[in-house]
Amino acid sequence: MTRTLFLVALLSTIVVATHGHGRHMTAHNVTYDGKSLFINGRRELLFSGSIHYPRSTPDMWPILLDNARRGGINVIQTYVFWNAHEPQQGQFNFEGNYDLVKFIKLVQEHGMFVTLRVGPFIQAEWNHGGLPYWLKEVHNITFRCDNEPYKQHMQAFVTKIVQMMKDEKLFAPQGGPIVLAQIENEYNHVQRAYGEKGDSYVQWAANMAVALNVGVPWIMCKQTDAPDPVINACNGRHCGDTFSGPNKPYKPVIWTENWTAQYRVHGDPPSQRSAEDIAFSIARFFAKGGNLVNYYMYHGGTNFGRTSSEFSTTRYYDEAPLDEYGLEREPKWSHLRDVHKAVLLCRKAILGGDPNVEKLNEFHEIRTFEKLGTNLCVAFITNNHTTDAATINFRGTNYFLPPYSISVLPDCKTVVYNTQSIVSQHNSRNYERSTTANNFQWEMFNEAIPTTKKMDMYQNKPRELFTLLKDTSDYAWYTTR
């Protein structure tokens, strides 16, 4: 009896271990057409959230990822932070908050995919947009254009990151979670300023990335002329209406940044964007054939040390669905979780049905996805009037819609969700003064002012501060006479 129980327990352990190993190591072929991404031949609807690993601590990562997954997120998007990983040329740091591999493996353990935005210029309200200081001292360099010194260093870093991901088997075809990769970032903003060198740089960056053979599609956000096979994607608050679409009909509609609020600068009040408005934008996007939406940010976190760009506060996108500390910000977190559930009920019809739009008037329309001869039918009924409610008749039934709202009908009959109807409670922060506040021991620190004899630099003109400090501090002593 004892031996039998032992063997049963051992077999059970082997089955569980094998099942878990298979779940985490199954290779995924990632392709696309004009309707969607295919992951292992299956069309997917993807709900993504930006969580940046350096803006939180490793002990927070599992909690953040669990809260994101429970919120209906199935993809995590993150940048790669060049100046954090290579602060000195040739000296790399992938430890602590900067342990990119550990973060991506945790995402996979939580059953989610990854979009890796390699950049390496990332903006992100991050110090120098992620470009390391030492790059400035490279002879004859011009950033982000068809300039040989810049392209050499950029390609070296991108190649290093890609090789690191390959070595750890983190791309989907290797059994990893990375299903998309991004090269450059919102380059359209500066491309015209570079003229022909901007145009040729876009082509070079795309070709360089594709030649790395990562096995997953590459994207460029806010890049209307993304070279094939790179997919151009949208950033903004209402890409369902503002995005003109991919530059080729065989590319899917991807929304890389749906801004859940706005980052704060010093002196500004908290940024606000309502849960209702975000939900409206999500329902609108998928009703018009969108395939992947990413919340920027889903969790903003903290700009530690001197990592933030100028004027930005240490608190980053605190009004996101998960606040600075990873706590659920209600009703935003729950309301978006519910829109994910509603849209997923429509998945088969959106991905397999034929789209149709019925514009009733200036403010009201009905969008359907339907497969004739089957029971596949979903409807998105829209009231785009900002102040007036409406009753809209659809196939013999009247549906009441509050102002500026969309109702989701997964069977073309039953309303399971309306973007204005919030059922979760609001929450607010309460602060209590720490009981240790009276135990602080304040001390005065006096910094010695150097004399001219201790200054080892003499010249007949002022030094430029950035070059003098090499981005290690914002303050310097200097003496003049």
Token reading at 329: 């910000």
Token reading at 317: 């996108």
Token reading at 199: 């145009």
- Is 432 among the catalytic positions? no
Cβ atoms within 10 Å, residue 298: 26
* Spatial distance between the Cα atoms of 320 and 261, rounded to a whole number of angstroms: 6
* Spatial distance between the Cα atoms of 320 and 328, rounded to a whole number of angstroms: 9
Q: Which amino acid is at 294?
A: N
The residue from 44, 125, 184, 257 that is catalytic is 257
Instruction: Check: CB of residue 132 under 8 Å from CB of residue 124.
Output: no
Q: Residue 202's closest CA among 181, 221, 178?
A: 221
Cβ atoms within 10 Å, residue 407: 26
* Spatial distance between the Cα atoms of 184 and 144, rounded to a whole number of angstroms: 9
The residue from 44, 86, 184, 186 that is catalytic is 186
User: Residue 247: left if φ>0, alpha if ψ -120 to 50, beta else—which one?
Assistant: alpha
Q: Residue 207's closest CA among 140, 257, 256, 158?
A: 158
Give the gyration radius of the chain's Cα atoms.
Answer: 26
Token reading at 354: 């034929």
Torsion angle defined by CA atoms of residues 104, 110, 112 and 114, in that order, rounded to the nearest 10 degrees? -10
Give burial (CB, 10 Å; 0-12/13-18/19+) of 1: exposed
- Is 257 among the catalytic positions? yes
Bridge partners of residue 120, in order along the sequence: none
Instruction: Check: CB of residue 219 under 8 Å from CB of residue 254.
Output: yes
Token reading at 125: 């309200």
* Spatial distance between the Cα atoms of 323 and 330, rounded to a whole number of angstroms: 10
Residue listed under structure tokens 């009905």: 366
Token reading at 47: 């709900």
Question: Catalytic residue numbers?
Answer: 186, 257
